[in-house]
């Protein structure tokens, strides 16, 4: 009995003590359960704590992806943070008590309350407090950093308090984030997840908002790079997708091949085993692949990945000299192809050609039996170990993609598992591909977009993949889209022109997402495509060296942001999660403000491992972790990227930078033959000029239109006289040089311009005033 009394007395003392603590020191009272509960749920790590001032006022700013970001920051930092928050979320007495415990500054959605909150924040900074803001003003629905609102500048104005950028990493995927398209009501993907708070160097309080934003974004990129090992091994993901798909169709192509998920996995495992025994030596790393977008091409690439070899998809639209340059660059011994495909192209390769048609005869009954058992009976986790997939590291190379060679001989871009896996993860967040989707794969696998998205994103995220080898074959594209109910199309504006002309609305009736890249999308093409098919395309941006995706506008049908701008037409979207961009002056390297054109730099886990055997060139392309894209762009105040041209697509005429793309846009309208015209009719290049530095050259298809009228049209469109080529600068050609990827062949265009323009200039006097 005495023991019970003693226990009750102790309990009473504890209760009274807690009540007293709750009254006289709410902050300690609230921190107590946080200190007990949060370490059970999360592991914490802080990077850059030395950057947080130990005394005096400062404003801390962070990204915002979860409902409890503020609580977590309070738990992780040694100093109390007075957050400025939306008072509408703290109307309940308990919530109000919790907020008051940390001297939270509440702000209601009216002008007077906002003014009082900003004034209170400013006073807190002058009093030496730490004031916290989430400058996006709302929770991110994709993990992408939104635009910063002006409240930050107003709070720090008139104070001496520095701005400390921070990034909270690890909360995306929790029940408190919008991952999966909803808050709270979902199973958490991970228990006791590791949270890392990155703290950047303090910034002066007069730092422009856009610079503050890039500093926060750069911390996010740093976090993702350092945690790149969390991105799943794609071959592992593919095994699980095939298991889930089972007897349902997983892939098909225009050659009549259809495979279920189970059949695909069996074929991959059987091919892997046969290649190991019949073809490859143990030390053979790089393997050439010469196949069009097809079921066979998918199976070969994934079989190589499951054998931990590095695929090198070769460009079959270039000359033998170029292909052999690529083969020699990385020491390819074997090239996998098919007799049917090889007979259609004229290539002589300096490597042993393996015809997959004849290799079928070497697949034994044992190979097939073991592949069936592995694909259907062996648990996925055990199969990972049998195949050695558990040994794959984030930085292990997955593929080598050769650049298009649009400005010179192709370079071998080394891409790791983490590079491609990050892109797949970013696509899952932004476009939300799932097993209900069907992707039309028309981009070749030697194109980084085709390899990363139509191959790996399709096979690792679960959509069905439907493949065709010729993206310009509009009739076949339409038939495939109708037959298989295609929902996702990835293309270039050049390809879309053909589809608008030749594909019927019924054939694209299931189409839900259209993403275009590689070249600027003309405004009238947006309207024409939407008018005919009811789907408005969105633009994205990337380069081979960036695996390739950097940014994308969120397709309207996949948007989950009711009150957030997630697409701006004319832009190429915001950087995908984990990627940071910066615009700098090409001359001084100084970072530029919102809306100012300069060189686009990119950093993140998508940055290539380097160029194969090109250390010096790699050093020029990647500077202190930032890839120098060569593209001229600006970033607006909402964080959307606007590409205005390539540095190589500017001419310096009379000391002024003249953009080729801007001139091409107007010329395309003037040379157009009507709504049904889907040809690329014009390309702007330049040749050296002894007086002005360079002279503009316009390569154009045959036309009956008067060149003088064309030049007047450029003037009427508002182009400066300097932007208007001279009459002798217009050169008629039979075809505009194009690459197999649908992009302009800039090197061939420049060579052609130099060859033809010189001859024309000697024949035609220059009596006009163009280029003045």
The CATH number given to whatever domain includes residue 150 is: 3.40.1130.10
Q: Are 121 and 155 contacting, i.e. CB atoms less than 8 angstroms apart?
A: yes
Rounded distance, CA 445 to CA 591, Å?
36
pLDDT tens digit sequence for 227-246:
999 999 999 999 999 999 99
Instruction: Answer whether 591's CB lies under 8 Å from 214's CB.
Output: yes
**Tens digits of residue pLDDT in 147-186:** 898 888 888 888 999 999 999 999 988 888 888 777 777 7
pLDDT band for position 15 (50/70/90)? low
**pLDDT reported for residue 767:** 35
Where does residue 232 rank: exposed (0-12), middle (13-18), buried (19+ CB within 10 A)?
middle
Q: Evaluate whether 197 touches 78 at the Cβ level (below 8 Å).
A: no
Lowest-confidence segment of 87-96, 134-143, 680-689 by average pLDDT: 87-96
Whether the predicted pLDDT of 269 surpasses 80: yes
What CATH number is attached to the domain comprising 573?
Answer: 3.40.50.12780
Q: Of 539, 537, 485, 483, whose CA–CA distance to 513 is shortest?
A: 537
User: What pLDDT score was predicted for residue 14?
Assistant: 56
User: Which pLDDT belongs to residue 263?
Assistant: 95
Percent share of the chain, pLDDT over 90? 44
Does some domain include residue 678?
yes
Last residue of a domain, one of 614, 643, 672: 643
Assigned domain for 297 exists: yes
What pLDDT does 608 receive?
95
What pLDDT score does 187 carry?
Answer: 74
Residue 20 lies in a domain: no
pLDDT for 557 equals 85
Judgement on whether residues 586 and 696 belong to the same structural domain of the protein: no
* Rg, the chain, Cα only: 29
Longest dimension (CA), the chain: 118
Q: Give the least confident one: 20-29, 116-125, 610-619.
A: 20-29
Residue 18 lies in a domain: no
Burial class (CB in 10 A: 0-12, 13-18, 19+), 703: middle
Whether residues 497 and 400 share a domain: the answer is yes
Range in 37-51, 265-279, 673-687 with the lowest mean pLDDT: 673-687
pLDDT of residue 674: 66
Segment 315-325 mean pLDDT: 87
- Do residues 285 and 311 share a domain? yes
The residues, any chain, with a CB within 8 Å of residue 533's CB and separated by 6 or more, are: 503, 505, 508, 511
Residue 289: pLDDT above 70?
Answer: yes
> Within a domain: residue 590?
yes
pLDDT at 765: 41
Mean pLDDT for the stretch of residues 4-24: 60
CATH of the domain at 708: 3.30.300.30
Taking CA 37 as the corner, what is the angle to CA 34 and CA 41, rounded to the nearest 5 degrees?
Answer: 120
d(Cα 509, Cα 559) in Å, to the nearest integer?
Answer: 20
CA distance 749 to 132: 54
> Based on the domain organization, do 339 and 404 belong to the same domain?
yes
Among 175, 204, 226, where does a domain finish? 226
Q: Which residue's structure tokens are 């797949």?
A: 424
pLDDT in the model for residue 653:
75
101 lies in some domain: yes
Residues 6+ apart with CB under 8 A from 151: 84, 114, 118, 133, 135, 137
pLDDT digits (tens, 9 = 90+) for 575-590: 999 999 999 988 788 8
Confidence of residue 768 (pLDDT cuts 50, 70, 90): very low
Amino acid 770: pLDDT: 38
Mean of the pLDDT values across residues 304-331? 91
pTM of the predicted protein model = 0.82
Note the pLDDT of residue 183. 76
**Where residue 266 falls among pLDDT bands split at 50, 70, 90?**
very high
| Mean pLDDT across 204-225 | 93
Judgement on whether residues 148 and 239 belong to the same structural domain of the protein: no
Range of the domain at 221: 42-226
Q: Which residue has the tokens 């199309």?
A: 489
Using one digit for the tens of pLDDT, what is the confidence trace for 705-760?
888 888 888 888 878 787 888 888 888 888 888 776 666 777 788 888 888 766 55
Token digits of residue 608:
């290539």
* Domain termination residue (choose one: 226, 249, 280): 226
Which has the minimum average pLDDT: 24-33, 142-151, 354-363?
24-33
| Shared-domain flag, residues 273 and 414 | yes
Residue 303 in tokens:
């079989």
According to DSSP, residue 592 is labeled: P
Q: What is the arithmetic mean of pLDDT over 278-282?
A: 89
Q: What pLDDT, on the 0 to 100 scale, is given for residue 522?
A: 81
pLDDT at 687 over 60: yes
pLDDT digit string (tens) for 515-544? 998 777 888 888 889 999 999 999 999 989
Q: Could you give the 3-state DSSP secondary structure of residue 603?
A: strand
Is 755 inside a domain boundary? yes
Confidence category of residue 320, pLDDT binned at 50, 70, 90: confident
Counts of helices then strands in the chain (DSSP H, E): 25, 33
| 192 phi-psi bin (left φ>0, alpha ψ -120 to 50, beta other) | left
Rounded to an integer, the average pLDDT of 439-467 is: 92
In terms of domains, do 298 and 164 share one? no
Whether the predicted pLDDT of 327 surpasses 80: yes
User: N- to C-terminal Cα distance for the chain?
Assistant: 105
The mean predicted confidence, pLDDT, of the chain is: 86
Q: What is the DSSP letter of 400?
A: E
Is 163 in contact with 205 (CB distance < 8 Å)?
Answer: yes
pLDDT (average), residues 130-146: 88
Predicted confidence (pLDDT) at residue 18 exceeds the cutoff of 60: no
pLDDT of residue 16: 57
624: pLDDT strictly greater than 50: yes
Q: What is the pLDDT of residue 1?
A: 55
pLDDT at 762: 45
Residue 760: per-residue pLDDT: 55
Residue 457 has pLDDT above 60, yes or no: yes
Pair 568, 671 in one domain: no
Query: Does residue 362 contact residue 371 with C-beta atoms inside 8 Å?
Result: no
Question: Which residue has better confidence, 645 or 246?
Answer: 246
Q: Is 43 left (phi over 0), alpha (psi -120 to 50) or beta?
A: beta
The tokens describing 398, both together, are: 């997955």
* Count of domains for the chain: 3
% of residues, the chain, pLDDT over 70: 88
Please check whether residue 727 lies inside any domain of the structure: yes
Do 729 and 594 lie in one domain? The reply is no
If you average pLDDT over residues 298-302, what whole number do you get? Answer: 96
| Judgement on whether residues 448 and 317 belong to the same structural domain of the protein | yes
pLDDT of residue 6: 65
pLDDT at residue 734, as a whole number? 85
DSSP character for 181? G
pLDDT at 772 over 50: no
Same domain, 281 and 208: no
Q: CA-to-CA distance for 429 and 556, rounded, in angstroms?
A: 14
Asked whether residue 622 falls in the same domain as residue 752, the answer is no
């Amino acid at each position: 009995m005495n023991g019970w009394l003693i226990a009750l007395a102790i309990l009473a003392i504890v209760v009274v003590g807690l009540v007293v603590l709750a009254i006289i020191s709410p902050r300690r009272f609230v921190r107590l359960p946080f200190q007990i509960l949060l370490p059970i749920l999360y592991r914490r790590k802080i990077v850059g704590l030395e950057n947080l001032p130990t005394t005096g006022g400062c404003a801390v700013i962070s990204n915002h992806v979860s409902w409890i970001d503020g609580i977590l920051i309070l738990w992780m930092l040694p100093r109390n943070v007075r957050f400025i928050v939306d008072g509408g979320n703290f109307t309940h007495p308990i919530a109000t008590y919790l907020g008051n415990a940390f001297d939270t500054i509440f702000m209601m959605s009216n002008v007077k309350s906002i003014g009082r909150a900003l004034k209170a924040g400013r006073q807190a900074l002058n009093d030496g407090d730490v004031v916290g803001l989430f400058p996006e003003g709302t929770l991110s629905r994709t993990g992408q950093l939104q635009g910063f609102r002006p409240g930050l500048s107003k709070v720090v104005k008139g104070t001496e308090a520095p701005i400390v950028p921070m990034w909270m990493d690890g909360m995306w995927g929790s029940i408190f984030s919008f991952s999966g398209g909803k808050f709270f009501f979902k199973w958490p993907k991970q228990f006791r997840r590791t949270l890392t708070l990155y703290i950047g160097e303090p910034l002066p309080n007069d730092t422009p908002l856009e610079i503050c934003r890039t500093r926060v974004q750069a911390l996010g990129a740093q976090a993702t790079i350092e945690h790149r090992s969390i991105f799943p091994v794609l071959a592992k993901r593919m095994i699980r997708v095939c298991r889930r798909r089972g007897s349902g169709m997983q892939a098909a192509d225009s050659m009549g091949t259809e495979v279920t998920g189970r059949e695909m996995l069996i074929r991959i495992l059987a091919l892997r085993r046969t290649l190991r025994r019949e073809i490859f030596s143990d030390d053979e790393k790089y393997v050439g692949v010469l196949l069009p977008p097809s079921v066979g091409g998918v199976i070969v690439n994934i079989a190589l990945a499951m054998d931990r070899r590095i695929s090198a998809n070769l460009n079959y639209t270039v000359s033998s000299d170029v292909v052999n340059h690529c083969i020699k660059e990385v020491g390819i011994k074997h090239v996998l192809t098919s007799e049917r495909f090889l007979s259609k192209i004229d290539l002589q390769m300096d490597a042993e050609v393996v015809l997959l048609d004849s290799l079928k005869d070497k697949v034994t009954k044992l190979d097939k039996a073991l592949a069936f058992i592995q694909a259907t009976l062996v648990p996925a986790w055990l199969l990972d170990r049998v195949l050695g997939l558990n040994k794959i590291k984030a930085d292990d190379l997955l593929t080598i993609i050769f650049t298009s060679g649009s400005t010179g001989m192709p370079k071998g871009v080394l891409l790791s598992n983490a590079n491609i896996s990050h892109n797949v993860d970013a696509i899952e967040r932004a476009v939300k591909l799932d097993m209900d989707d069907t992707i039309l794969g028309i981009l070749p696998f030697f194109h980084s977009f085709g390899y990363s998205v139509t191959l790996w994103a399709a096979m690792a995220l679960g959509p069905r993949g439907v493949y065709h080898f010729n993206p310009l074959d509009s009739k076949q594209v339409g038939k495939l889209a109708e037959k298989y109910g295609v929902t996702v199309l990835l293309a270039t504006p050049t390809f879309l022109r053909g589809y608008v002309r030749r594909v019927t609305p019924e054939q694209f009736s299931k189409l839900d997402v259209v993403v275009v890249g590689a070249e600027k999308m003309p405004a009238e093409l947006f309207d024409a495509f939407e008018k005919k098919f009811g789907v408005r395309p969105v633009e994205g941006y990337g380069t081979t060296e960036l695996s390739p995706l950097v940014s994308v506008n969120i397709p309207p049908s996949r948007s989950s942001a009711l009150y957030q701008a997630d697409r701006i037409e004319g832009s190429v979207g915001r950087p995908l999660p984990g990627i940071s961009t910066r615009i700098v002056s090409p001359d001084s390297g100084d970072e530029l403000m919102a809306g100012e054109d300069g060189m686009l730099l990119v950093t993140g886990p998508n940055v290539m491992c380097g160029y194969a055997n090109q250390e010096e060139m790699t050093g020029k392309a990647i500077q202190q972790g930032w890839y120098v894209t060569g593209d001229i762009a600006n970033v607006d105040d909402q964080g959307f990227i606007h590409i205005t041209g390539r540095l190589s697509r500017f001419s310096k005429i009379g000391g002024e930078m003249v953009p080729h793309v801007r001139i091409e846009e107007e010329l395309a309208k003037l040379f157009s033959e009507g709504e049904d015209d889907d040809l690329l009719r014009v390309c702007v290049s330049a040749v050296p000029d002894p007086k002005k530095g360079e002279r503009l050259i316009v390569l154009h298809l045959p036309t009956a239109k008067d060149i003088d009228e064309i030049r007047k049209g450029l003037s009427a469109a508002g182009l400066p006289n300097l932007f208007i080529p001279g009459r002798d600068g217009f050169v008629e050609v039979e075809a505009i040089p194009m690459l197999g990827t649908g992009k302009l062949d800039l090197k061939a265009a420049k060579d052609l311009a130099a060859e033809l323009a010189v001859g024309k200039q000697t024949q035609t006097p220059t009596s006009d005033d163009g280029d003045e």
